Every structure is written in structure tokens, then in C-alpha cells.
């Protein structure tokens, strides 16, 4: 039997993987700071005797779409959005440094300043702990100000400064925890010129219409592979008919 | 063949419908005194590594990037947006609004102290100041039956004129509590919040001092729900729900074609 159906199968697997990636983009269409993923098929040439000229398909997520999402004012003091392509430095679950565009900060029970999904943000001296305070404010340069409990509201004190990294010229990749890291290891340089939009939040950069078109494309590619498998079956049965001994 | 896309889209539907619930609750409370709107926070679920980058694909080839597939989205929680609501004068002396940070303290039936921004207080038959559903304000203040000209000062002093005395007498002083992290307080219904480990311990004291807001007698703080904002959020949620259900439909179609063709 011909191997055409196995070649088609690799493409079908790829279509389903791509559909899953698109479904994940669509599911996160409202997640703050989310970066959509781009899945693409890659060709893998088979080598060895009798398979020359044969290639199968393999689906890979080649990276994330790094365009900015829309920034909307929320009026919440701990919401920040990054201008340009700068990223907030946070601590990943494994202790490494990770980068995110997510700026809905909150104060955890321990006083630790974290992102909305619970990663501690990094200041100049490591994780930022907010003391008992009457008011917390983050300014455009990422400095965190508090009015200490019982202190003078006109005289806030600086606790730390959010570390904001520059991604310019670096190859960053999204890890399994959804945080970005430098592809070959290492850390991004801090960007002292980076500015924040305060009391605002950056949305997801997934465009629903684009994702829907990609979804239809992935479905159609699945269907055309199915058609090929169906055709291969018809050819096989036609061959079998030809070979049948006359009765 | 995995049905990954179906389940990923389902997490999207779940999360959007939770968000719709939060928006519905905000809209339902658009006229609730002292209500603070909630915001639904989404977070991505963990990623699954299907193909390791650098794994051998064929002979001398290696995968450059690998295949990490996301597994969807979930609602991480809600955060209360503590902006000030607008004030409305009511003319009722026992209506109070807090201008700034802080909460009224209320004795709850189960012995805990409840904290609220809703300042629509009443006078109970025995003269104590209570919330509209009868929970006594802390510290307890007795208003004599024959008192007239009741007023609440910006610092929380409650004074009234009683027969036989020309000057107003001070009946008591309302104290406010404030928290280091008010967003960490837990809402338990009936306009009440309670302290948690995340909110920190209450700092109780006179109104207008140490960062506590001052009191405005004869006024009520409305909810901080902005109807237009909620409606825009609602449309956004609805569309997001729609695209996720389209995804389920498309994946279902793929599976249907497969079962029919193969």
C-alpha cells in the first residue's frame, strides 16, 4: 500500500495542533498582556533508500506575535501598561528571571507585589514588598511610592522601582509558564528610558477576526488531507478490483 | 488523534461566562449604596510541550522551536476596584458617606466585625444606630428618643439637641477602620466585607486622621459602577464567547468530516 496516507496523517496532526494553538489564542482574547502564538508547518525531508523526494509535515509554534495590545484606562492605581516593547521583569516559579507584558499588579497576603497571575515583580533589590501603607502609587518611570500607615499623604516615600527590561535586539521565547525568556539563556538588559502608562492595562494582542480566518484555514487544510486519504483508499480498492481474477 | 482544540475552546467559554457573571453582578448593583465594582482577572493555563526544541526530527534534522501548545485560560479571581463613588445628598441625618479611604465597623450576628462603605444607617427602637438591616454600628451610639437636630461632623462626632439644654450634646463618635490592602478583603454579602490575611489588620481611629477619609453627614456614596464601561465590557465578553463557540463548531466539523470520510 502507498504511504500517501501516512504523509497526510502528519499534516492532519499538524492541522489539529495548529487548531489547538488558535483555540488557545481565542481563549485568551481577554487575558491582559497576552501574546498570541504563531504556529506553522515545517517540512521534514525523509532520508534513506526508497524515500528520496518524500517529505512529511511537522507543526511547530515558531514564536509569539509581539505586537502591542490595545491599552485601556482602568483607573486602578496598581495597573500599569508598558510603552513600546519593554517588558516587566518578574520571578518565574523556578526562581529564574522571566518577562511579561502583564501589568495588573496586586499586593499578595505577604505584602509581595505580584502580577495578576501571581508572579512576584522584581525591583532593583529583588522582589518588592509593600509595607503597611495608606496609599500605593506607581509613576511613569516605574517607581513605587507609598504613603506609610499614618504618614503624611503629601509626602510619599519610594519603596523601590519596577525593573523594566528592553527586548530590543534580543530573541525571546515564551516558556511553559507563559513567561518570556531569552532563547539561549541569559537575561535582558534593563531599560532606564522605558516609560509606563499608569492606571491603564494592556489587553491581549489576539485579533479575533484574524484568528477566526486562521481557524477556517486550519479546518480546510484538515479537510483536504482527509480528501487525499479518501482518494488513496479509492485508488487502492480500484487496484484491488483490477487484480481480481475473473469469475 | 487528540481533541485538544475542543477543550481549549471550552476553557475560553467557561472563563467568558464567569466574566459575564461578574459584569452582571456589577450592573445589578449599580444603585447599591457604597458598592465597589469587581473586575474578572484571566490567566493563561500552563503550556504543554508536545515536541521538545532540539529533538531529532529526521536523520540530521532537529526541531528549531518545538511545539508548546497552550491549554487555555482560566479565571484567576476578581479584584475589587476601590475608586470613590459619587455622593448624593439625601437630607437624612443618619446617612453618611466616607470621603476617602476607610470603612464603617458593624457588629455582625456571628460575633465578627463587618466592614462596609454603605452609610445608610437608621435608629433602632432602643435608640442605637444600626444598619438598614439592623446590625449595630461600632462603637455603639445611643440616640435619645427626644433628641432633635441630629448631625454628624466630618470627624465622626454625632451630636443632637435634647430638651432642656440649649447647646447640642455630643452623643458619641464614629470611628472608621482602614486596611493596608483593602482589595484583599473578602466580600460576604449584605454590603459587608471582612478582614483576611491578605487585607492586614484594621487600623481603627477617628475619621479624617491618619489617611482615613472624613465623614459627610446627610449624604450617601453611590456605587462606583460605570454603566457604559460595563456595557462595553459586556459586548467584549459576548464576542469573546462567540469566537470560542465558533472554534468548538469548527473543530466539531473537522471531527465529523473525519468520521464520515475514514
Say whether residue A227 is in contact with chain B using an 8 A CB cutoff: yes
Cβ distance of A21 and B200 shorter than 8 Å:
no
Prediction pTM value: 0.82
**Closest CB to B243 among A21, A109, A208:** A208
- CA distances to A13, A94, A180, A181, B25 from A63, rounded to whole Å, are 19, 22, 11, 12, 38
* Greatest Cα pair distance in chain A: 104
The C-alpha atoms of residue A36 and residue A50 are separated, in whole angstroms, by 41
On chain B, the residues whose CB falls within 8 A of the CB of A116 are 41, 43, 76, 79
The answer to whether the CB of A118 falls within 8 A of the CB of B77 is no
| Helix-helix angle A4-27:B227-261, to 10 degrees | 170
For chain A, give every domain's residue range: 4-66+206-243, 71-202
Q: Is A70 on the interface with B (CB under 8 A)?
A: no
One digit per residue, pLDDT tens: chain A, 247 residues? Answer: 457 888 899 899 999 999 999 999 999 999 999 999 998 888 888 777 766 667 888 888 888 889 899 999 888 889 999 998 899 999 999 889 999 999 999 988 888 999 988 899 999 989 999 887 778 899 999 999 988 877 777 888 999 999 999 998 888 988 888 899 998 888 899 998 999 999 999 999 999 899 999 999 999 999 999 999 999 999 989 999 998 887 7
Closest CB to A176 among B47, B83, B262: B47
Identify which of B4, B76, B79 has the shortest CB distance to residue A117.
Answer: B76
| Residues 4 through 63 of chain B touching chain A, CB cutoff 8 Å | 4-6, 8-9, 11-12, 15-16, 19, 39, 41-44, 46-51, 57-59, 61, 63
pLDDT tens track for B62-117: 665 677 888 899 988 888 888 899 999 998 888 999 998 899 999 999 999 999 99
* B66 part of contact set with chain A, CB < 8 Å: yes
The H or E element that residue B56 is part of is strand B56-58
Cis? peptide before B139, omega within 30° of 0:
yes
Amino acid at each position: 500500500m502507498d504511504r500517501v496516507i501516512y504523509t497526510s496523517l502528519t499534516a492532519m496532526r499538524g492541522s489539529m495542533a495548529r487548531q489547538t494553538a488558535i483555540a488557545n489564542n481565542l481563549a485568551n482574547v481577554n487575558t491582559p498582556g497576552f501574546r498570541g502564538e504563531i504556529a506553522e508547518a515545517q517540512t521534514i525531508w525523509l532520508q534513506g533508500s526508497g524515500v528520496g523526494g518524500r517529505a512529511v509535515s511537522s507543526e511547530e509554534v515558531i514564536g509569539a506575535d509581539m505586537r502591542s495590545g490595545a491599552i485601556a484606562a482602568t483607573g486602578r492605581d496598581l495597573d500599569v501598561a508598558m510603552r513600546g516593547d519593554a517588558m516587566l521583569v518578574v520571578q518565574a516559579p523556578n526562581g529564574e528571571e522571566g518577562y511579561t507584558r502583564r501589568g495588573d499588579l496586586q499586593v499578595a497576603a505577604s505584602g509581595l507585589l505580584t502580577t495578576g497571575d501571581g508572579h512576584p515583580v522584581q525591583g532593583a533589590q529583588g522582589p518588592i514588598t509593600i509595607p503597611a501603607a495608606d496609599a500605593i502609587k506607581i509613576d511613569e518611570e516605574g517607581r513605587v511610592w507609598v504613603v506609610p500607615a499614618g504618614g503624611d499623604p503629601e509626602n510619599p516615600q519610594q519603596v523601590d522601582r519596577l525593573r523594566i527590561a528592553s527586548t530590543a535586539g534580543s530573541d525571546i521565547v515564551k516558556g511553559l509558564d507563559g513567561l518570556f525568556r531569552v532563547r539561549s539563556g541569559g537575561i535582558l538588559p534593563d531599560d532606564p528610558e522605558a516609560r509606563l502608562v499608569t492606571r491603564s492595562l494592556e489587553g491581549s494582542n489576539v485579533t479575533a477576526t484574524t484568528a477566526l480566518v486562521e481557524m477556517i484555514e486550519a479546518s480546510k487544510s484538515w479537510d483536504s488531507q482527509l480528501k487525499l486519504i479518501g482518494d488513496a483508499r479509492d485508488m487502492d480498492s480500484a487496484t484491488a478490483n483490477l487484480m481480481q481474477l475473473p469469475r | 488523534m487528540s481533541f485538544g482544540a475542543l477543550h481549549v475552546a471550552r476553557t475560553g467559554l467557561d472563563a467568558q461566562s464567569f466574566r459575564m457573571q461578574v459584569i452582571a453582578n456589577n450592573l445589578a448593583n449599580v444603585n447599591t449604596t457604597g458598592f465597589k465594582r469587581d473586575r474578572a482577572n484571566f490567566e493563561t493555563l500552563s503550556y504543554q510541550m508536545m515536541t521538545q526544541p532540539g529533538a531529532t526530527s529526521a536523520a540530521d534534522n532537529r526541531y528549531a522551536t518545538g511545539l508548546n501548545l497552550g491549554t487555555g485560560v482560566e479565571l484567576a479571581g476578581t479584584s475589587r476596584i476601590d475608586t470613590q463613588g459619587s455622593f448624593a445628598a439625601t437630607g437624612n441625618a443618619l446617612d453618611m458617606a466616607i470621603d476617602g479611604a476607610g470603612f464603617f465597623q458593624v457588629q455582625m450576628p456571628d460575633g465578627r466585625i463587618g466592614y462596609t462603605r454603605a452609610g445608610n444607617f437608621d435608629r433602632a427602637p432602643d435608640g442605637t444606630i444600626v444598619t438598614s438591616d439592623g446590625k449595630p454600628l461600632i462603637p455603639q451610639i445611643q440616640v435619645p428618643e427626644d433628641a432633635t437636630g441630629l448631625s454628624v461632623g466630618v470627624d465622626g462626632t454625632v451630636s443632637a439637641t435634647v430638651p432642656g439644654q440649649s447647646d447640642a450634646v455630643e452623643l458619641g463618635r464614629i470611628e472608621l477602620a482602614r486596611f493596608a490592602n483593602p482589595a484583599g478583603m473578602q466580600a460576604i454579602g449584605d454590603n459587608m466585607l471582612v478582614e483576611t490575611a491578605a487585607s492586614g489588620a484594621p487600623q481603627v481611629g477617628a475619621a479624617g486622621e491618619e489617611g482615613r477619609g472624613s465623614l459627610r453627614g446627610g449624604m450617601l456614596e453611590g456605587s462606583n459602577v460605570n454603566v457604559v464601561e460595563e456595557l462595553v465590557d459586556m459586548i467584549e465578553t459576548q464576542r469573546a464567547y462567540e469566537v470560542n463557540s465558533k472554534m468548538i463548531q469548527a473543530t466539531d466539523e473537522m471531527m465529523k468530516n473525519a468520521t464520515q470520510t475514514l
